Structure 1
Amino acid sequence: MASQTQRPAAAALPPEGERRRDFLYIATGAFAAVGGAAVVWPMINQMNPSADVLALASIDVDLAAVQPGQAIKVSWRGKPVFARRLTPAEIDAANKVDVSTLRDPQTLAERTKPGKQEWLITLGVCTHLGCVPLGAGTGENRGDYGGYFCPCHGSQYDTAARIRSGPAPTNLVVPDYTFRSDTAVTIG
């Protein structure tokens, strides 16, 4: 009885035609996958940022010439950036503000890098409607709080670039930046 249930060894292997057909199916599928990838890749690759955009992704700024109380304007990603060197009096004034009374509560320490509290780097774009505030240039109106004044609708920022009055809903934005040395910073 055991001999009736066993199959002959030749019956265990598929016929030659089935092996060839399986190979053709696999080869055809692989060829189609490679061809599909070759067609799709240019469409995906065209969505990557262009070289000129990547070049603007970060900028290096030398702050060595900026004296206490002065600020410079640089352009990053098509937007103005203010880099201000605060005086000890401006730092004290910013630290004395009761943060709980602010519309967008942030301390000066939260807006600057540890050990670099004298350097305040912000986007020079008012958070109300995108105007460029005054206060970074010599002799420009700094408003009632000694920081920045937006001439479009009257928003006023303090020395830590925090909104103090006017229609702007939030503080001036602090971009990502890293100090490479005491006076060299990379923005972006």
Structure 2
Amino acid sequence: MVASTITDEPTRRDFLFIATGAVGVVGAAAAVWPFLSQMSPDATTLAAASIEVDIGNIAPGQIVTVKWRGKPVFISHRTPAEIEAARATPLSELPDPATDESRAPNPEWLIVVGICTHLGCVPIGNEGPYNGYFCPCHGSVYDASGRIRQGPAPSNLAIPPYKFAGDAKVTIG
């Protein structure tokens, strides 16, 4: 007869195996943690992710430029005449059709990224035949709703994510 050495009781060897495995897992996690944490965005990047702008002092007809994520953003306080002209434009005249209502949910305010969609130049506000934005580099013309009207630009000025935080503040980003 062969004697059996299998017991149901844990032995010292079992404890050493479990303890060694646990120390190995903790050591591996401690070694990997710095590599994972360095992939997180820097504090300055997180700070630039959104900005809050006081729009209470912007007069009707005035365009203010702010910097968001390293890009210029135009905040335009539109006059009733600009709103009426933008809303009266037939979509059939636009190379990149978009209604004024979809681009400016609050009609008084138009907020667009101030980078020409042709080659990335910065347009000039309140210029051109549509009293919107004019890019002097290659002649792209945008209307008061930031929609492309003439020139080589393929699309409208981009609209950043934003929300109004009260009557006099807007948060971009």
**TM-score between both structures, scaled by the size of structure 1:** 0.83
Change (3 A) 1:13 1:97: farther
Which of 23, 29, 32 is the matching residue for 1:31? 23
Higher-strand-fraction structure: 2
CA distance in 2, matches of 1:167, 1:159: 18
For residues 117-156 of structure 1, what are the alpha-carbon distances to aligned partners after superposition, in whole Å with 9 as ceiling and x for unaligned? 11000111111111110016xxxxx112210000111111
Counterpart in the other structure of 2:129: 144
1:133 aligns with 2:118: no
Which letter maps to 1:135?
Answer: G
Aligned counterparts, 1:1-20, within 5 A: 14-15=6-7, 19-20=11-12
Aligned counterparts, 1:28-177, within 5 A: 28-113=20-105, 116-135=106-125, 142-177=127-162
Change (3 A) 1:160 1:12: farther
Cα offset, 1:181, TM superposition: 1.0
Alignment RMSD: 2.2
For residues 12-40 of structure 1, what are the alpha-carbon distances to aligned partners after superposition, in whole Å with 9 as ceiling and x for unaligned? 99437975444433332222221111111
Q: SS state of the match for residue 135, structure 1?
A: strand
Structure showing greater radius of gyration is 1
For residues 84-116 of structure 1, what are the alpha-carbon distances to aligned partners after superposition, in whole Å with 9 as ceiling and x for unaligned? 011111111111112243222211111123xx2
Select between 143-152 and 12-21 the one with higher mean Cα deviation: 12-21
| Unaligned residue ranges in structure 2 (runs of 5+) | none
Residue identity over aligned pairs, in percent, reads: 57
CA distance in 2, matches of 1:96, 1:19: 86
For residues 29-72 of structure 1, what are the alpha-carbon distances to aligned partners after superposition, in whole Å with 9 as ceiling and x for unaligned? 22222111111111111111111111111111111111111111
Change (3 A) 1:158 1:24: same
Counterpart in the other structure of 1:178: 163
For residues 158-180 of structure 1, what are the alpha-carbon distances to aligned partners after superposition, in whole Å with 9 as ceiling and x for unaligned? 01001111111111111011111
**TM-score between both structures, scaled by the size of structure 2:** 0.89
CA distance in 1, matches of 2:115, 2:147: 13
Q: SS state of the match for residue 185, structure 1?
A: strand
Change (3 A) 1:16 1:166: same
Which letter maps to 1:79?
Answer: K
